[in-house]
Amino acid sequence: MFEALGRFLFRRRKPLLVLTLLFAVLSGAYGVGVFGDMKPGGFEDPGSDSRKAAQIAERAFPQRAPDAVVVYRDKTRTVDDPAFQKSVSETVQALPKSSVSGYSTFWMTKMPAQVSHDRHATYVAINLQGSDDNAKEVSYKAIKDKLAAPGLETLRGGPVPTGHQASDEIGKDLGLAEGLSFPVLFILLVIVFGGLAAASLPLFVGGLSILGSMAVLRVIAQLTDVSVFAMSLVTILGLAVAIDYGLLIVSRYREELERGHTGEQALSRTVATAGRTVVVSGTTVAVALAGMTFFPFGFLKSMAYGGVAAVVLSVFFSLIALPAVLGVLGARVNALALRRNKAPRKDGQGGWYRLAQGLMRRPAIVAVGTLAVLLALAVPFTRVEFGANDARQLPNSAEGRQVGNALDRDFDSDATKSIDSLLVLKGDATSPQQGAALKSYANRLAATKGATGAQISGATGTNARISVTFDGPAVSTPARDLVNRLKAVPPPPGAQAYFGGETAVFDDTLDALGETLPWMLLYIAVATYLLLFLAFGSLLLPLKAIVMNLLSLSATFGVLVWVFQDGHLEGLIRFDSTGNIEPNMPIMLFALIFGLSMDYEVFLVSRIREQYDLLGDSTAAVASGLQKIGRLIVNAALLMCVPLAAIATSGVLTMKLFGVGMVFAILADVAIVRILLVPAAMKLMGRAAWWAPGPLARFYSKYGIKESDEAPEVKQPVPVAG
């Protein structure tokens, strides 16, 4: 099947190349508009009780928790100065009602908590028009340049401004990462290939993938909300995966040329071998990323849309456009060489072959040692603490971070923090009977362990709001435990209670993640197992690959907890630990790392399987396969780490965690799992690694994902020492 595709691509190479260039122009022209179609937010479950509570509050009451917090400060004057009051009051009074639904100043509320300890600063709490994050973002953009008070230092913070500033910071960081990555990647590719022509081809595939993914995301954005963060994944993943696949295709094509094949034969063999591997690898990555669509959060769904688009297009262009270019270039793929290519080594020679021999002499020791290292790295993950994003994710230079620091340092406790019970009643909330029932309910809530008080903060029509105060951070395990205890308190007869506020949102988020995660894991495990069986015809190899991936992931999560939650390496990596991990990040990292780790597993085992079909001996196939693919896997991993390492320099904590986590996962997976553990495990399994019961073996023979329908010629096994 793949051989026939290779021959077709060679014969239609010029028209295909013209169509590729036309696609690049059209997708680039259309896709650039995606930035205006994407939305902020997407971190909440739209079907949760806390979301229903927010909708009730939006409809029935002035919003209690502010969307924006603006700090005004003067070095010489205090808030008691009439000029200070006039400057702030006139500024907020001039804000358009089309964007602002309400605001509160110290001079309106007389709340001491709104004045700093030295009385030289105050904050204004602002509520924005809009029923969701997207609408509030639009409202904030309309007023953000109108918030500066004459003669006063102005700092804009709070949930919506902080999210807006984070998006801007991420956009700048991505632009810088792309600007740094392309030249560095090109230099490294020149070193890997030893020539300018070959080095440019993986970047060509990466550019096509990014342009195409932008166009796909814009189409999806017309049908559903797509998070602004999806573009960051498209840029980085599209470039990284395309370079991996381009490196594999170009390397194999040059290898076929070195064997004396020319033209159609070289291209058909390349597509049959490396092309098949790319299809299997890309499908496993896309399957893993698609698992994020199981969750109700727009953020994770958007990451799935962008990631799957980037991977699928990388596979498509690596399998169609790149072979067409290679068919046009032919031997000129080695043009502009900067060094003479070394003669290919024969089986039984080379450092990778000797390394495989050494590992397979003591496979049990190697396996136990690598497992011990991975499990030790995973231990910190057993004490992970989850928390929501806040201003601390921004660099100290950001206004939102400065507002958060000022509120913590210069002001008393947050006067707007509470857990709100939004009630839907059967009767009029203002009637004496309902009033007595509400007061009794508020007293029961106030008496709940962990609560410091509760009061009726709103009553209109058939809706009422009870606000519960408490000590400590709003996003924490004790606060979450309090929410669950409050939910257990019976509401007034006939009433339905929905709990809202930052703590309730956090609790609902973790509940939704916990409920959905097992189904995502089951889907990924089953789909990956079936794909790998169709690729290798083995009953045990897919199971081995899944277990090894889980070990690699556990080690990565352990390291992330040790670094980012515990605060180790703060000075080196330049971040401030928040003492927790944002819960969406492990889910996204799981899908990405699982898929990319399986990428390298498919690269390696495909070459081993190819050698096993030729040699008929499992041990010899492992040594020969590692010799042929080991250097390429290491090069691919290092190249993939370039854009990810650039992301790790971001000033936004979540992006830094993402970059560091991905770089560690890829390097650890290649160095520990693929190079050390896989050969040892293959040796321990022996021929059983390729075993499948009769019916399944016949199924694989008929339907398996193979290079061609012809059986390979089996040669005499090559002896391997030990």
Is the pLDDT higher at 2 or at 572? 572
What local confidence, expressed as pLDDT, does residue 196 receive?
85
Is 490 exposed, middle or buried, given 0-12, 13-18 or 19+ CB atoms closer than 10 A? exposed
**In the predicted model, is pLDDT for residue 707 greater than 60?**
no
CA atoms within 13 A on the CB side of 255: 18
Rounded to whole angstroms, how far apart are CA atoms 502 and 479?
10
What tens digit of pLDDT does each residue of 518-559 get?
999 999 999 999 999 988 888 999 999 999 999 999 999 999
**In the predicted model, is pLDDT for residue 718 greater than 50?**
no
How much of the chain, in percent, has pLDDT values that exceed 90?
43
User: What would the mean pLDDT of 220-248 be, rounded to a whole number?
Assistant: 85
**CB-based contact 60:463 (threshold 8 Å):** yes
Structure tokens at 134: 């997207």
What local confidence, expressed as pLDDT, does residue 651 receive?
86
What local confidence, expressed as pLDDT, does residue 715 receive?
46
**CB-based contact 378:555 (threshold 8 Å):** yes
Average pLDDT, the chain: 87
Residue 187, Cβ neighbours under 10 Å: how many? 12
Task: Please name which of 169, 211, 205 lies closest in space to residue 185, comparing C-alpha atoms.
Answer: 205
Alpha helices in 411-540 (DSSP H): 432-446, 477-487, 502-536
What local confidence, expressed as pLDDT, does residue 260 receive?
85
The structure tokens 């694989």 sit at: 700
**In the predicted model, is pLDDT for residue 664 greater than 90?**
yes
What local confidence, expressed as pLDDT, does residue 716 receive?
45
Rounded to whole angstroms, how far apart are CA atoms 160 and 137?
6
Alpha helices in 80-229 (DSSP H): 82-93, 106-109, 133-143, 159-193, 196-221
What local confidence, expressed as pLDDT, does residue 62 receive?
66
The interaxial angle of helices 363-378 and 678-685, nearest 10 deg, is: 130
What local confidence, expressed as pLDDT, does residue 193 receive?
83
Rounded to whole angstroms, how far apart are CA atoms 239 and 205?
8
What local confidence, expressed as pLDDT, does residue 95 receive?
94
Helix/strand/coil for 31: helix
**In the predicted model, is pLDDT for residue 622 greater than 70?**
yes
What local confidence, expressed as pLDDT, does residue 216 receive?
92
- Rounded to whole angstroms, what are the CA distances from 172 to 36, 166, 497? 16, 10, 43
What tens digit of pLDDT does each residue of 420-429 get?
999 999 889 8
Task: Please name which of 407, 383, 392, 380 lies closest in space to residue 575, comparing C-alpha atoms.
Answer: 392
What tens digit of pLDDT does each residue of 75-107 get?
999 999 999 999 999 999 999 999 998 899 999
Region of residue 45 (phi > 0: left; psi between -120 and 50: alpha; otherwise: beta): beta
Confidence of residue 2 (pLDDT cuts 50, 70, 90): confident
Rounded to whole angstroms, how far apart are CA atoms 272 and 281?
14
Per-residue DSSP letters for 45-96? -TTSHHHHHHHHHHHHS--SS-SEEEEEE-SS--TTSHHHHHHHHHHHHTS-
What local confidence, expressed as pLDDT, does residue 713 receive?
46
**In the predicted model, is pLDDT for residue 292 greater than 80?**
yes
How much of the chain, in percent, has pLDDT values that exceed 70?
94
What local confidence, expressed as pLDDT, does residue 706 receive?
64
The interaxial angle of helices 230-258 and 263-270, nearest 10 deg, is: 130
**In the predicted model, is pLDDT for residue 340 greater than 70?**
no
**CB-based contact 388:166 (threshold 8 Å):** no
Q: Which of 432-436, 608-612, 669-673 has the lowest mean pLDDT?
A: 608-612
User: What would the mean pLDDT of 295-317 be, rounded to a whole number?
Assistant: 92
Non-local CB neighbours of 429 within 8 Å, separated by 6+ positions: 423, 435, 438, 459, 460, 461, 462, 463, 464
Amino acid identity, position 547: V
**In the predicted model, is pLDDT for residue 461 greater than 50?**
yes
Confidence of residue 589 (pLDDT cuts 50, 70, 90): very high
Rounded to whole angstroms, how far apart are CA atoms 293 and 302?
8
Is 559 exposed, middle or buried, given 0-12, 13-18 or 19+ CB atoms closer than 10 A? buried
What tens digit of pLDDT does each residue of 118-132 get?
999 999 999 898 877
What tens digit of pLDDT does each residue of 480-498 get?
999 999 999 999 998 999 9
The interaxial angle of helices 321-329 and 263-270, nearest 10 deg, is: 150
User: What would the mean pLDDT of 457-467 be, rounded to a whole number?
Assistant: 90
Is the pLDDT higher at 49 or at 336? 49
Rounded to whole angstroms, how far apart are CA atoms 439 and 587?
42
Task: Please name which of 11, 635, 607, 636 lies closest in space to residue 323, comparing C-alpha atoms.
Answer: 11
What local confidence, expressed as pLDDT, does residue 687 receive?
86
User: What would the mean pLDDT of 220-242 be, rounded to a whole number?
Assistant: 84
By DSSP bridging, strand 496-500 and strand 419-424 are antiparallel
What tens digit of pLDDT does each residue of 348-388 get?
568 888 898 899 999 999 999 999 999 999 999 999 998 87
Phi, psi dihedral angles at 130 (to 5 degrees): 135, 145
CA distance between the termini of the chain: 38
Task: Please name which of 232, 231, 225, 234 lies closest in space to residue 308, comparing C-alpha atoms.
Answer: 234
Confidence of residue 322 (pLDDT cuts 50, 70, 90): very high
**In the predicted model, is pLDDT for residue 345 greater than 80?**
no
Phi, psi dihedral angles at 227 (to 5 degrees): -70, 145
Amino acid identity, position 216: V
Residue 50, Cβ neighbours under 10 Å: how many? 26
Is 433 exposed, middle or buried, given 0-12, 13-18 or 19+ CB atoms closer than 10 A? exposed
Structure tokens at 222: 């017309």
Non-local CB neighbours of 243 within 8 Å, separated by 6+ positions: 185, 189, 202, 203, 205, 206, 636, 639, 640
- Rounded to whole angstroms, what are the CA distances from 47 to 220, 298, 583, 587? 21, 12, 18, 19
User: What would the mean pLDDT of 176-187 be, rounded to a whole number?
Assistant: 84
What local confidence, expressed as pLDDT, does residue 195 receive?
80
